[in-house]
């Protein structure tokens, strides 16, 4: 797992959850190149955007691999717009999902699905556990 944050406290929490790589970003610096470098150009399997800014939504799409999934967890302000590369989404078969109203406890439980050596439960299990 890779975590991106602007504050050391965010990254310390991620490390406590077992995150392998921690990336500190400054201001509006784009972390996509760093992520691509860490994954040898491939991109991440799953990108979970938890900031809620149109720019970070864009970065999440840009850092995911072909066939990967983006979860837009962070809700952007009302009237926000995001422009996505439709060819990238279509031909790279990227899945985009949005989630809403989950508690921190829910996220802690579900973060174990993305830990190294674990597999995600089937979609039916995800729906049952809401």
Asked if 112 and 118 touch (Cβ cutoff 8 Å), the reply is yes
pLDDT tens digits for 32-61? Answer: 999 999 999 999 999 999 999 999 999 999
Least-confidence region, from 15-24, 65-74, 102-111, 113-122: 113-122
Cα distance between the two ends of the chain: 23
Asked if 116 and 89 touch (Cβ cutoff 8 Å), the reply is no
pTM, two decimals, is: 0.75
């Amino acid at each position: 797992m890779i975590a991106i944050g602007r504050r050391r406290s965010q990254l310390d929490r991620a490390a406590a959850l077992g995150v392998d790589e921690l990336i500190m970003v400054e201001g509006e610096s784009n972390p996509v190149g760093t992520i691509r470098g860490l994954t040898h150009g491939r991109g991440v399997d799953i990108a979970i955007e938890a900031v809620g800014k149109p720019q970070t939504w864009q970065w999440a799409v840009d850092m995911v691999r072909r066939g990967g999934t983006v979860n837009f967890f962070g809700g952007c302000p009302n009237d926000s717009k995001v422009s996505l590369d439709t060819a990238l989404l279509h031909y790279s078969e990227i899945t985009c999902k949005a989630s809403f109203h989950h508690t921190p406890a829910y996220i802690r439980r579900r973060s174990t699905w993305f830990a190294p050596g674990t597999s995600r439960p089937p979609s039916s299990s995800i729906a049952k556990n809401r």
